[in-house]
Structure 1
Amino acid sequence: MANGRPRILITGATGQVGSRTLDHLAGRADVEIVAAVRSAAKAAPLSARGIATVIFDLDDEATHLPALEGVERLFVVTGYTVDMLRQSKALLDNAKKAGVSHVVHLGACGRDDTTVAHWAWHQLVERYIEWSGFTWTHLRPETFMQNLLSYGGKKAVNDGVINAFVADARLSWVDVEDVAQVAALALAHPELHGGKTYRLGYDAKGFGEIAAMMTAIIGKPFRYEPLAPEVFLQSMIDAGAEMAYMGCVYEHWKRYAAGTIPGADDVFDNFPGIAGRQPVRWADFIEKHRGELDY
């Protein structure tokens, strides 16, 4: 604790959720935030904003304890490989040694009894956090609305055409901005959010419905053209992706398309109680990002 303020370490600080969580915490006078980055180059823009940084690499355990020095609260964000299991265990073991008290974990979708593999991996990490004796907040965001802007580094909407791999399935959606606000609040106020599992999904829509909303709001035609999940699988193979993880993603696209994921379109009413406002829904998101979606 520095100057009476709890020290919070943000892993994944340059990613979608981590960077926005930093934004929410950066203006607070009651906490000290530290961004975990893998290189001096990644640190530079954060340092320019006056945000403290530490060098940290999930795969290099020698960086863990120095990064965790003096840290009381930890935001755990992992990458899209099966290594997330080993990485999370090593980080949490070192966090215990360093005296961290509260852990906020960014997990994945799913009911407690999910059999979607990479969602279940995150639930195993949740159990390990609890077993390790930390106070905790588990975040389980549904599908990110931002995936409609880009997915895997590629635009998801091209000349009014949306491509996805889930046939006519309805998914539950959440704005990354809302996930980050919940993460920030859980890190700033563990006394309010400790022991809570927050499922974060607030608007259930299929891609055809989203295309129709975009047409109405933006005033140009949009349409959905579903692709076979095999297209995704081949693209990941071609890209040299880590296939233990991406094979699971392929299987869950197939299950979405077949309608065999229980609760795929579950939505929740917890956001106003957490954040004091309504969550972003699809009409809001399309309006907010119409410049990026227009063509």
Structure 2
Amino acid sequence: MITMSKKIPKILITGATGQVGGKALNYLLLQKDIEVIAAVRTQAKATVFHDKGIATVILDFDDDSTHLGAFEGIDRLFMMTGYTVDMLLQSKVLLDNARRSGIKHVVHLGACGPDDTTVGHWAWHQLVERYIEWGGFSFTHLRPQDFMQNLLSYGNKKAIIDGVINAYVDRASLSWVDVDDLAQVAALALAYPEKHAGKTYRLGYDAKTFDELAALMTAIIGKPFRYEALSPEIFLQAMQDSGAEMTYMGCVYNHWKRHAAGTIPNANETFDNFFEITGKKPTKWADFIQKHQAELDY
């Protein structure tokens, strides 16, 4: 009697060299009976994965000639895009090729907001979500709120200097999520699509103003922290001076302005879905500050 071996699902992680993709990949490596593959843009970036025994494929969102080869044999895709307006075309072409390749399940890293959001770049991600659904994929949409890690570094720069926190939202209260928690949800949605297919997970578990965060850091770390609000115009000028892609960054600027003016509805909304998804409690700010005390200290 011949016994047919069960096919092991293959999961491709885009953004594997980044925070969310990299952490999701590490969580998936703890799962049994799946194969995890990291998508990289160049062979040079593949080295760190090869050293850990992790398979890689070359995938460039801007070069569709790389897509079909990267997708060969892939069953599930973790999809995240860059912070430019090009994400719209990149996502469409990538998904078209994913469909041609027979990929079944797509977990998409989107952005904040309810379905009726009027924040520009949040809405772009929702258009990508709709295209995923239109393409006939099984899907899980992830909509994280603001990342707690942004207080460690932002734009490849240390975010807090000598205890001073700067942000562009005046006294607004925001909803926050630990990237580690986001990555856990992404990994579970990829490992168990039968449990998470058709779901849109909004992920934000602790609402705080920057003044409240400064007070909490002062109490936990034992050194003074304070918040100094900056005008969104400073952000806009910095992006222009850096040569950033301004269609996207103009949306970010506008949403900072709206946060500061308090005109984004329910910007500090939190959700109670994390335990149901993971069986664990989400990270709150006190937990995060204690976990990263050495990085926040000065």
The two structures have a TM-score, normalised by structure 2, of 0.98
Deviation of 1:3 after TM superposition, in Å, equals 6.0
Which residue of the partner structure matches residue 101 of structure 2? 98
**Residue 206 of structure 2 corresponds to residue 195 of structure 1:** no
**Residue 95 of structure 2 corresponds to residue 88 of structure 1:** no
Which residue of the partner structure matches residue 73 of structure 1? 76
Which residue of the partner structure matches residue 126 of structure 2? 123
Deviation of 1:27 after TM superposition, in Å, equals 2.4
Which residue of the partner structure matches residue 149 of structure 2? 146
Contact 1:173 1:204 in 2 (8 A): yes
Which residue of the partner structure matches residue 215 of structure 1? 218
Alignment partner of 1:278: what SS? Answer: coil
**Residue 32 of structure 2 corresponds to residue 29 of structure 1:** yes
- Counterparts of residues 271-290 of structure 1 (less than 5 Å): 271-290=274-293
Unaligned segments of structure 2, at least 5 residues: none
Read off the aligned partner of 1:60 and give its amino acid letter. Answer: D
Tell me which of 251, 257, 260 is aligned to 1:257.
260
Deviation of 1:202 after TM superposition, in Å, equals 0.2
Deviation of 1:174 after TM superposition, in Å, equals 0.1
Deviation of 1:53 after TM superposition, in Å, equals 0.3
Alignment partner of 1:199: what SS? Answer: strand
Contact 1:34 1:52 in 2 (8 A): yes
Read off the aligned partner of 2:53 and give its amino acid letter. Answer: G
Read off the aligned partner of 1:147 and give its amino acid letter. Answer: N
Contact 1:65 1:95 in 2 (8 A): yes
Report the Cα distance in structure 2 between the residues aligned to 1:59 and 1:222, rounded to whole angstroms.
42
Report the Cα distance in structure 2 between the residues aligned to 1:191 and 1:222, rounded to whole angstroms.
45
Alignment partner of 2:136: what SS? Answer: coil
How many residue pairs are counted as aligned between the two chains? 294
Tell me which of 240, 247, 255 is aligned to 1:244.
247
Tell me which of 263, 267, 270 is aligned to 1:267.
270
Contact 1:111 1:263 in 2 (8 A): no
Report the Cα distance in structure 1 between the residues aligned to 2:259 and 2:109, rounded to whole angstroms.
22
Which residue of the partner structure matches residue 53 of structure 2? 50
Q: Deviations over 1:94-147 (max 9, x none)?
A: 000000000000000001100000000000000000010001000000000000
Report the Cα distance in structure 1 between the residues aligned to 2:86 and 2:20, rounded to whole angstroms.
20
- Counterparts of residues 102-113 of structure 1 (less than 5 Å): 102-113=105-116
Alignment partner of 1:163: what SS? Answer: strand
Deviation of 1:28 after TM superposition, in Å, equals 2.0
Report the Cα distance in structure 1 between the residues aligned to 2:99 and 2:253, rounded to whole angstroms.
35
Deviation of 1:236 after TM superposition, in Å, equals 0.7
Report the Cα distance in structure 2 between the residues aligned to 1:232 and 1:16, rounded to whole angstroms.
23
Deviation of 1:29 after TM superposition, in Å, equals 2.2
Deviation of 1:262 after TM superposition, in Å, equals 0.8
Q: Deviations over 1:228-281 (max 9, x none)?
A: 001101111111111000010000000000000011001000000001110001
Q: Deviations over 1:161-196 (max 9, x none)?
A: 000000000000000000000000000000000000
Alignment partner of 1:53: what SS? Answer: strand
Alignment partner of 2:112: what SS? Answer: coil
Report the Cα distance in structure 1 between the residues aligned to 2:259 and 2:126, rounded to whole angstroms.
20
| Runs of 4+ more than 4 Å apart | none
Read off the aligned partner of 1:267 and give its amino acid letter. Answer: T
Contact 1:26 1:51 in 2 (8 A): no
Deviation of 1:4 after TM superposition, in Å, equals 1.8
Report the Cα distance in structure 2 between the residues aligned to 1:38 and 1:130, rounded to whole angstroms.
26
Read off the aligned partner of 2:191 and give its amino acid letter. Answer: A
**Residue 12 of structure 2 corresponds to residue 9 of structure 1:** yes
